[in-house]
Every structure is written in structure tokens, then in C-alpha cells.
Structure 1
Amino acid sequence: MKRLYFVAILLLMFIGVKGQQQPQYTQYIFNPLLVNPAVSGIENYVDVKSGYRNQWSGLLGAPITTFFSITAPLGHNFVQGDALQVPDNGDNPIGRSFVQSYRAAEPHHGIGFTAMSDKAGPIRQTNIDVTYAYHIGIGPNLNLSAGVSAGITNISLDASAISVENSQDMAINNANYSQIKPNLNVGVWAYSATYFAGVSVQQLVPQTLSFSTSSVYNQGKTVPHFYITGGYKFFLSDDVSLIPSIMYKIVQPAQNTIDLNMKMAFRDHFWIGGSYRQDDAVAGMIGFTISSFLSVGYSYDYTSSNLNTVSTGTHELVLGIHLGNNGGSGAQRGF
């Protein structure tokens, strides 16, 4: 394998076919903490989520992503979060009656922690971040939060998985196969019982990406990822709600992209949905709120790009555990 081919692999892994360096998620809208730290502590319970994503299944070296997140409020006397919340105990507790009685949150803090591992071919990226947000009510039914997350990113290369024509190739010879970089993300989130909107930036501080000690090969850089998200909750009946949502992603110098999503929930215990990712995939989603303590979601992406000739699609599974979600909006469930 010639040097040029190896460099091309690095570019594809780091930059991706559309220029996105951060992993993508089909069910991000049900765990927005993955892209916006301002949702830290938005619920009045401890929200734990764990997920697994097998992207482009069937393609050798395709991305495998796992993540874990936990977030909790600090404070008391504030109501439940936004239109995406998991219901507490009771009979359809976030139906129309909840919307009619919803009041903006008391000022409070939120904290969280996220860990993510994304492996693509011989390259693995691991992010570990702590998150913080501050929430205030800015109207009778409207809240605003601002958040930040900071931590470290480890980029590692499994050199044993690479074959080169010249073992002394400076692209990898005496290279730094494991590097730790600082990471900083910021965001804002506006929310009520029926709608939400947010803006966030990941990888705010650019870093050099290179495994070589030679200046010839250290031209790679991380770039900021901008996310603009919004959605609205409609009630088709007392038992059925519909949430259309959108995400607009800006990652220069790549083309800007749009994700369109739709979720239909039945008595907030069972939901189905669909997603369209511009020039990439269409997806189907299904989920269950088994109890106020436990929820699970699954999605399948059908690849609409040219990769569909070598891929059988993408599978994503997300498990949610909601500690202290005991019912009674406005009840104290903070630390």
C-alpha cells in the first residue's frame, strides 16, 4: 500500500465522506445532550442513556460508535423539561392537561457527563466530557438554558491493522499513535412543554490531527461543528402526539446538511418515527417507555448514497434509565 493511499485513508477517517469529524446519531433528538450541553439537568430526575451504533453494516472497517451519558438537575421546585421528556408515573402525564398547567422552570443548575467511543477502520476517537448548564424562565411558559462541556479527546491509530510498502514510511514510522487533545463545546436551548430550539458548537477549539512527527503530514485539523435544532409537539388527540423536528448541520468546508425527523407517540408509552438525512440515509425508528424508570429505542437506516452497494444499513440501539422519575410535575427530584 503506497503512502498516498495511506494518507487518503486518514483523510477519509478523519474528515468523513461529508466532512463531518464527529459521529452522527439517528436518535440524537431523544438525547440532545450528545450535541448540545445546554440540556444538562433539563429534567427533574437523573437521566441515564447508553447507546450502540453500527454504521454501514457489512462494510469492512465501517464506524462503530458507543456512548454513555448521565445528566441531573441541581435544585428544586421546577417543573419537568420540554416536549421531548420521558413521562413520569400516571395516566398520560404529559398530555394536553400537562401542557395547560405547564409553568416555566425556577432558576437552577444542571450537570452531566458524556463518554463516546467511535472506531472507524484503524482509527479510534474517544471523547470524555463533563457538562454544565444554567436554566431560567424567561416567560410564563418559556425557559432558556446555556451550557458548556469540556474534556479530552483521545485519537489513536492501530498501526498493526495497516500494511505499508515501506516500513520506514514517515507517515507512520516513529509516529505518535495515541494523542490526547482538549475539547470544548457550548450551546443554548429554549424550551417549553410543546416546542424546543437550540444552537450549539462542538470542537470549538481547533486541534492538529496527525500521527506523524514529520511536518509534511501534520496538515489535518479539527473544525467546529455547528448544530441548529428545533421541533414542535402537536396533539392529534388526548392519546396521540406528533413531534416534527429538524437539525441543520454546518461543518466547513463540507456541504451543509439537514436532518428531518418525525415522531408519533401513543399515550407516551409507545412511539414510532422516521428520519431523512440529506444525501445519506432514510431511517425508521421505534421505541417503548416501559415504565417511568426505563425506555428503549431502536432505529434502522437505509443508506441512500452510493455506499448502499456495499452496506446493508445502519443499526442503532439506545437504552434510557430515568432515576427518581416518580411522578408529580414540580416535585423536588434534584440533588
Structure 2
Amino acid sequence: MKKYFVFLVLLISNEVFAQQRPQYTQYIFNQYLLNPALSGIENYVDFKAGYRKQWTGLNGSPQTSFVSANWALGDNYLWSNALTSFPEQTGDPMDRNYTQNYTSSPAHHGVGITAVQDKAGPISRLDADLTYAYHLQLNDKFNLSAGVAAGVSNISLDVNALSFEEANDPAVGRAITNQTKPDLSIGVWLYGARLFAGVSVQQILGQGLSFSDVNKSTQGKLAPHYFVTAGYKLVLNEDIAAIPSFMVKYTDPAPASIDLNLKVAFKDRIWFGGSYRKDDSFSAMAGFNISKLVNLTYSYDFTTSALNQVSNGSHEIVLGLLLNNIYNVPSRIKIW
């Protein structure tokens, strides 16, 4: 029985944690979750809360809940920030003059906070981080920001959710059911009126991880996660813009994951989008601005991997609040 438990711990540590960080479909509208360099990129306090149910229909499938908020420091608002400034002539973010007359944001600091609860089978994880970024004005058209996120990760194992032939097996009693690790992430972000690009690394500390003290060979680790993303805004006409983008994710020793995305926005009021994740899923997305304060987005993933035999797809919903939005700026769907 002890050998069986050790095997199970190895399976959990190495296989399940190959995807140690939650997977998101709507990261293209909240890149801040993956890259701390976006801290304070807006004039307002950008608050988001979301829930994701992955692979519905599969018992013990991942469930993720998160809240995040970030804001710029200082008393001066970023009047010329491309993400929040409107052409004075029309007030329309889709106006071609918006990009032609764009002025980059002045240099400033930004901070924020994230909390993510992720559960997959018997394993639960809570990540809490504080973030900081400095936004450098490269020239009149582009900013470059660099950011860091520091916090803790609490990982727990629910042994009561596991089934054994011998309920009182000594190996179960020696299981490590709760452990807390320091966490650190870094990133850079380049942005202008139409272009954005970024690189980030999560879990760079590579902390050791094990659910049993029976055998040191069961030791795993929290592996670094690498993200590279970029996108470009295409103005189709005065009312419609299309934003194609991509992301490459890599965690050793798993193969790289590639996402291709396309969002089409209409007058900064409603948008539709689609995403393709290589060897995993197709996704459909939609969202709208309820008011200058509130926006709501939803996505559904159609599983294309072998899991489609047992999965009914994945659902994700995100609520956004634009707090202290004194200039009545709509959400950033006009850009990203």
C-alpha cells in the first residue's frame, strides 16, 4: 500500500503539476494576471473578478477563481495614455485620429494585487501577490514597462478525497497536506496606440514540492512558466476594429503551448472573438460594456484533445470594474 501511495504522489506532483498555473482563455483582456508589468497601465483602478470551470463533466476537473486590481501611483492622471485618452474632436476611440495623434504616457509607477484560487482533484492552491511596475516613456509613440510580482503560494492536498484499499495506511498519515512557498514573477511590456508585446516568467524561484516524506524521490518542484505575447490593432472602419494576437507558453519539460486569438470590437460597446490553442481547444468569446463602470465577458472552450470524450468544454466569466474612472473612459476593449 505504501508503494501505491508513493506512486500516487509522484503522479500528482509531476503529471498534474505540469500545468502548475491556471489556464485562462480571457487572458487577452486581462494580461495583468500573467505579466506584472501591466500594473498601473490605466488612468483608473482596473478591478476584475473571474471564475473558470475547465473540462466540465470530468470529475475533479480544474476550477479557478481570481480577483485582481491595479492602479497608477500619484495624483496626476495620465491624460495622454493611449489606453484611456480620447480624441477631443469626436470622443470616439475608433476614430483614426486617435492613433494618428497618439501620445505615449508620461513615465509613472504602478502597483496592484492578485489573488488566485485553483483546485484540481485533491489539490488546492492559493496564490496571493503584490505587484509593481515602472512605465518608461520611450518616445512620443511607445512606452516600455518592467514589473515584478512577489507573494506566496499555499498548496494543500485533501487526503480525504483519495480512495485507498487500506483507509488507515501509515503512508497516508505521513502525507504533507499543506505547504506554503514564496513566489516571484517578472515581466516587461511594450505598448503603443496599436501594438503591444510582452514577455514574463512566473515561479522563477523553482521551489521544491512534495506531498510525502516517505521517499525523497517523490520530490518535485514549482517550475518556471514562460509567456511571450504580442498583438496589433487593425482599424477596419470608423466603427470596427480587429485585434489579432498570439501567445506562446512554455514550462519544462512539457511542450510549448501556442494560442492564436482574434477579437473584433464594434464602437467600443460590444465585441466578439475566437481563439485556437494548439492540440487543445477552440474558444468563442463575447463581451459588452454595461456602463462606464462595468463590463462583462464570457468564453466557452470546445475541447479538441482526447479529453473531448469525457469533457463538455470549459466556461469562463469575468466581471470588470473601472473604479475612480473620472473621465468616463470605457474599458480597454478598444485596444486589446
Task: Tell me, in whole angstroms, the C-alpha distance in 2 between the residues paired with 1:257 and 1:21.
Answer: 14
User: Given that residues 189 and 199 in structure 2 are in contact (C-alpha distance below 8 angstroms), is that contact kept between their aligned partners in structure 1?
Assistant: yes
Q: Quick check: 1:45 aligned with 2:44?
A: yes
Question: Deviation of residue 164 (structure 1)?
Answer: 1.8
User: Given that residues 155 and 179 in structure 2 are in contact (C-alpha distance below 8 angstroms), is that contact kept between their aligned partners in structure 1?
Assistant: yes
Task: Tell me, in whole angstroms, the C-alpha distance in 2 between the residues paired with 1:159 and 1:45.
Answer: 44
Q: Corresponding residue for 1:6?
A: 8
> Structure 2 counterpart of 1:24, which letter?
Q
Q: Quick check: 1:68 aligned with 2:67?
A: yes
1:179-209 C-alpha deviation (Å, 9 max, x unpaired): 1000000000000111100000000001111
Question: Deviation of residue 107 (structure 1)?
Answer: 1.0
TM-score by length of 1: 0.91
User: Given that residues 79 and 85 in structure 2 are in contact (C-alpha distance below 8 angstroms), is that contact kept between their aligned partners in structure 1?
Assistant: no
5 Å matches for 1:82-121? 91-93=91-93, 95-121=95-121
Distance verdict in 2 for CA 1:172–1:86, change over 3 Å:
farther
Task: Tell me, in whole angstroms, the C-alpha distance in 1 between the residues paired with 2:35 and 2:311.
Answer: 30
User: Given that residues 152 and 183 in structure 1 are in contact (C-alpha distance below 8 angstroms), is that contact kept between their aligned partners in structure 2?
Assistant: yes
Q: Corresponding residue for 2:212?
A: 212
User: Given that residues 13 and 123 in structure 1 are in contact (C-alpha distance below 8 angstroms), is that contact kept between their aligned partners in structure 2?
Assistant: no
Task: Tell me, in whole angstroms, the C-alpha distance in 2 between the residues paired with 1:14 and 1:86.
Answer: 44
- Choose 122-131 or 160-169, whichever is displaced more: 160-169
Q: Corresponding residue for 1:240?
A: 240
User: Given that residues 225 and 249 in structure 1 are in contact (C-alpha distance below 8 angstroms), is that contact kept between their aligned partners in structure 2?
Assistant: yes
Task: Tell me, in whole angstroms, the C-alpha distance in 2 between the residues paired with 1:288 and 1:151.
Answer: 33
Task: Tell me, in whole angstroms, the C-alpha distance in 1 between the residues paired with 2:294 and 2:57.
Answer: 31
Gaps of 5+ in 1: 330-335
Task: Tell me, in whole angstroms, the C-alpha distance in 1 between the residues paired with 2:81 and 2:167.
Answer: 56
Q: Quick check: 1:125 aligned with 2:120?
A: no
Question: Deviation of residue 178 (structure 1)?
Answer: 1.0
Distance verdict in 2 for CA 1:257–1:14, change over 3 Å:
same
Distance verdict in 2 for CA 1:202–1:86, change over 3 Å:
farther
User: Given that residues 144 and 191 in structure 2 are in contact (C-alpha distance below 8 angstroms), is that contact kept between their aligned partners in structure 1?
Assistant: yes
Q: Quick check: 1:172 aligned with 2:172?
A: yes
User: Given that residues 81 and 193 in structure 1 are in contact (C-alpha distance below 8 angstroms), is that contact kept between their aligned partners in structure 2?
Assistant: no
Task: Tell me, in whole angstroms, the C-alpha distance in 1 between the residues paired with 2:82 and 2:122.
Answer: 40
1:138-178 C-alpha deviation (Å, 9 max, x unpaired): 01110000000000000001111111234465653222211
Q: Quick check: 1:223 aligned with 2:223?
A: yes
User: Given that residues 117 and 124 in structure 2 are in contact (C-alpha distance below 8 angstroms), is that contact kept between their aligned partners in structure 1?
Assistant: yes
Task: Tell me, in whole angstroms, the C-alpha distance in 1 between the residues paired with 2:85 and 2:11.
Answer: 41
User: Given that residues 42 and 80 in structure 1 are in contact (C-alpha distance below 8 angstroms), is that contact kept between their aligned partners in structure 2?
Assistant: no
Distance verdict in 2 for CA 1:86–1:117, change over 3 Å:
farther
Distance verdict in 2 for CA 1:59–1:291, change over 3 Å:
same
Distance verdict in 2 for CA 1:171–1:264, change over 3 Å:
farther
> Structure 1 counterpart of 2:62, which letter?
P
Gaps of 5+ in 2: 330-336
Q: Corresponding residue for 2:27?
A: 28
1:299-327 C-alpha deviation (Å, 9 max, x unpaired): 00000000000010000000000012233
Distance verdict in 2 for CA 1:202–1:32, change over 3 Å:
same
User: Given that residues 171 and 217 in structure 1 are in contact (C-alpha distance below 8 angstroms), is that contact kept between their aligned partners in structure 2?
Assistant: no
Task: Tell me, in whole angstroms, the C-alpha distance in 2 between the residues paired with 1:154 and 1:82.
Answer: 37
Task: Tell me, in whole angstroms, the C-alpha distance in 1 between the residues paired with 2:200 and 2:208.
Answer: 22
TM-score by length of 2: 0.91
Q: Corresponding residue for 1:56?
A: 55
Task: Tell me, in whole angstroms, the C-alpha distance in 1 between the residues paired with 2:33 and 2:128.
Answer: 12
Question: Deviation of residue 291 (structure 1)?
Answer: 1.8
Task: Tell me, in whole angstroms, the C-alpha distance in 2 between the residues paired with 1:82 and 1:146.
Answer: 18
Task: Tell me, in whole angstroms, the C-alpha distance in 1 between the residues paired with 2:328 and 2:294.
Answer: 17
Distance verdict in 2 for CA 1:77–1:318, change over 3 Å:
closer
> Structure 2 counterpart of 1:324, which letter?
N
> Structure 2 counterpart of 1:6, which letter?
L
> Structure 2 counterpart of 1:224, which letter?
P
Number of residue pairs the alignment of both structures matches:
325
Task: Tell me, in whole angstroms, the C-alpha distance in 2 between the residues paired with 1:12 and 1:187.
Answer: 26
5 Å matches for 1:306-317? 306-317=306-317
Question: Deviation of residue 218 (structure 1)?
Answer: 3.6
1:187-246 C-alpha deviation (Å, 9 max, x unpaired): 000001111000000000011111212333542111100000100001000110000000
Distance verdict in 2 for CA 1:21–1:8, change over 3 Å:
same
Task: Tell me, in whole angstroms, the C-alpha distance in 2 between the residues paired with 1:87 and 1:302.
Answer: 37
User: Given that residues 88 and 327 in structure 1 are in contact (C-alpha distance below 8 angstroms), is that contact kept between their aligned partners in structure 2?
Assistant: no
> Structure 1 counterpart of 2:5, which letter?
R
- Choose 309-318 or 86-95, whichever is displaced more: 86-95
User: Given that residues 82 and 102 in structure 2 are in contact (C-alpha distance below 8 angstroms), is that contact kept between their aligned partners in structure 1?
Assistant: no
User: Given that residues 247 and 260 in structure 2 are in contact (C-alpha distance below 8 angstroms), is that contact kept between their aligned partners in structure 1?
Assistant: yes
